[in-house]
Chains A and B, each alone.
Chain A
Amino acid sequence: MVRTFTGASMLITQVFGAVIMYIDPGAGSIIFQALVGGVMVVGVTAKVYWRKVRRLFQRHG
């Protein structure tokens, strides 16, 4: 779910992102990292909980 959502937002970014000269990659990398890092935490947390839920069912199954 998280993957699909980010995938979609990435696509939008890529399609509409203006093509301009490559000048300072530093700022873009840092801002992007903050954004992606946050999304990844959500993804990892979801994965951990999903595993817990699955284990719960496996134990009772």
Chain B
Amino acid sequence: MTERIPASFRDPAGFMFRREGVLYRQINDRHTDSYGELLKSGLYDELVRHKLLIPHVEVEVSPAEPDVSSLVIRPDPVRFISYPFEWCPGQLRAAAEATLEIQRLAMERGMSLRDASAYNIQFHEGRPTLIDTLSFEPLPDGMPWFAYGQFCRHFLAPLALMKYVDVRLGKLLRTELDGIPLDLTASLLPWRTRLQWGLGVHLHAHASSQRRHARGNSGRTPAKGRQLSRRALVSLIESLLAAVKKQQWKPASSAWRDYYALRESYSSAAMEGKVELVTRVLRGLPAETVWDLGANTGQFSRLAAEVTGAHVVSIEMDASAVELSWRDCQDAEDARVLPLLNDLSNPTPAQGWAHEERESLLDRGPVDVVLALALIHHLAIGNNVPLPSLLRWLTSAGKTVVIEWVPKEDPMVQRLLSTREDVFADYDMNSFEDAAKEHFEIRSKEQVPGSLRSLYVLERHG
């Protein structure tokens, strides 16, 4: 059976399709020359060598639409598709730098990126990698970079907004799927950013230019005829790169404090006991894919990757924690853990055209093992989610769930209850176990050393 990937419909150059579980890309006849040039120019080899482009092989497979194509490639599979609004600022910046580096290398070989969508970048083996092999076209002399506006909307605008206004503005990317409009960006940024060379030019003046030419009545030469020398184009890319490099966001100082406190707590006997228990439990679970829900700075995600060898998506709602986790992964060159921003009380929904362009978080599962440590009280008490509903939700996330039960007497739950009325009469171990048994078999239950908590391994029925 052939199934066309719903997100891949815009590009006339080709599209992705799945056949018998394998993902392929059809290259339409109209794009064959550009694809040939990508290979012939040596750009493909260079980008793959630098791990900037997803490798692929040409395969003898019939195209999904043979009328318009005679060529099919099979790209290396990406373990988990993530979206720019799920990235911390450091990840978005890395993706932006990768995009500009790809464009720079392409220009050296007489080619250019047709688009600069952040969705074309995925974290593959720990690095930002372009997954759209059909993004390249030859660059005739004098041709401007048509993706310039898109690059600014998808990358520079959110980076500047997160750095100069509030990191939460990165979430605007969730509603603005083609990047944050520059007029909106310019109106939100503080006035002083106009005086910064990179932001002043590429965001503020750029936004003004878009406004001026929006109605096409500026009386100037039409955009189509505009020429841009190669030197000017190179300078433009360099200037964008300099601007992107400056958008380094610093996590809140409180996040750093928590981070170091957590690291210190690792040496405590209680934490050592918990690490030992989780290690032992994970060792008995075969897993290729793991989601660590409520991962904080990802200590247990890294442990899970180490113990099981699985690819771990480390999901956390706090941008500072994700940023610190991402930096740790970079420092350790850990390609098996992908830190990701997601609020589980409002996880990524299905979005875009026909609700099919961008998948919801759950659509990208299920995984072999879900790790839910120190999470249940945040959802059940912090967000009033009834235990049966929570357990039902977990069935769609993974086959096996390793979940920590945190009782009411626990100091962290007491802290949550100190600011709200205790309307959680059903929040007890028996109700938890009853809710779990509805959907899972309880495979094991052990006390977490030095605490009132218990660690359960749940196996989904069927």
Contact A36/B201 with A25-B181, A31-B226, A41-B232 known, Cβ cut-off 8 Å: yes
Any B CB within 8 A of the CB of A58: no
Check: B228 CB closer than 8 A to any chain A CB.
Answer: yes
Number of interface residues of A (CB under 8 A): 33
Interface residue B13 (Cβ < 8 Å from any Cβ of A): no
In the assembled complex, the Cα of A44 lies from the Cα of B333 at a distance in Å of 35
Q: Is the interface of A mostly helix, strand, loop or mixed?
A: helix
- Contact partners of A40 in chain B: CB under 8 A: 232, 235-236, 239
Does B204 sit at the interface, judged by CB under 8 A?
A: yes
Instruction: Give the distance to chain A from B100, nearest Cβ to Cβ, in Å.
Output: 14
* Cβ–Cβ < 8 Å partners of A33 in chain B: 144-145, 148, 226, 228, 236
In the docked arrangement, what's the CA distance between A26 and B213, Å?
Answer: 9
- Interface SS, B side: helix
Q: In this assembly, does B1 line the interface, its C-beta being within 8 Å of a C-beta of chain A?
A: no
B197 contacts A14, CB within 8 Å?
no
The answer to whether B194 and A22 have CB atoms under 8 Å apart is: no
Please tell me if B220 contacts chain A, counting CB pairs below 8 Å: yes
- The reply on B453 being an interface residue by CB < 8 A is no
Residues on A with C-beta less than 8 A from B152 are 29
Contact of A17 among B208, B227, B232 (CB under 8 A): B208
Q: Does B19 contact A (CB under 8 A)?
A: no
Interface residues as binary, B146-163 with A (CB distance below 8 Å gives 1, 0 otherwise)? 101100110000000000
Q: Which residues of A contact B223 (CB under 8 A)?
A: 26-28, 30-31
**Contacts A14-B194, A23-B214 given: A34-B144 contact, CB under 8 Å?**
yes
Using a CB–CB distance below 8 Å, which chain A residues touch chain B? 3, 6-7, 10-11, 13-14, 17-38, 40-41, 43-44
| Given A19-B211, A25-B181, A29-B149, 6 more pairs with CB closer than 8 A | A13-B208, A26-B223, A31-B223, A34-B228, A36-B206, A37-B233
- A–B pairs, 25, beta carbons within 8 Å: A3-B197, A6-B201, A7-B195, A7-B197, A7-B200, A10-B201, A17-B211, A20-B215, A22-B210, A24-B213, A24-B216, A25-B210, A26-B223, A28-B210, A28-B214, A29-B152, A30-B144, A30-B149, A31-B209, A33-B148, A33-B226, A34-B144, A37-B229, A38-B232, A41-B235
